[in-house]
């Protein structure tokens, strides 16, 4: 499952009730948790991505911030 399906390449697609990631105020640890375990329609990535990849993606989201 690709993140961009719901979040787009810049975090702003907002498909399937996804929030605008460029406006996300979550901490890095909270993003690691939501990416690992999922929430609502967002699918969990634990077991699909390893811990280092999840952390890398969580950090990458900060680049979307306005």
Which residues sit at the interface with ligand HEC, rule CB under 6 A? 1, 3, 5-7, 16-19, 21, 24, 26, 31, 34-35, 39-43, 45, 57, 61
The 3 state secondary structure assigned to the chain is CCCHHHHCCCCCCCHHHCCCHHHCCCCHHHHHHHHHHCECCECCCECCECHHHHHHHHHHHHHHCC
User: Cβ closer to ligand HEC: 12 or 57?
Assistant: 57
Give the CB-nearest residue to ligand HEC: 3
The distance of closest approach from Cβ of residue 31 to ligand HEC in the complex, given in angstroms and rounded to an integer, is 4
């Amino acid at each position: 499952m690709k993140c961009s399906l719901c979040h787009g390449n810049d975090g702003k697609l907002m498909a399937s009730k996804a929030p605008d990631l460029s406006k996300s105020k979550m901490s890095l640890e909270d993003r690691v948790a939501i990416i690992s375990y999922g929430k609502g329609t967002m699918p969990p990535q634990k077991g699909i991505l390893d811990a280092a990849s999840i952390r890398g993606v969580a950090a990458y989201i900060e680049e979307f911030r306005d």
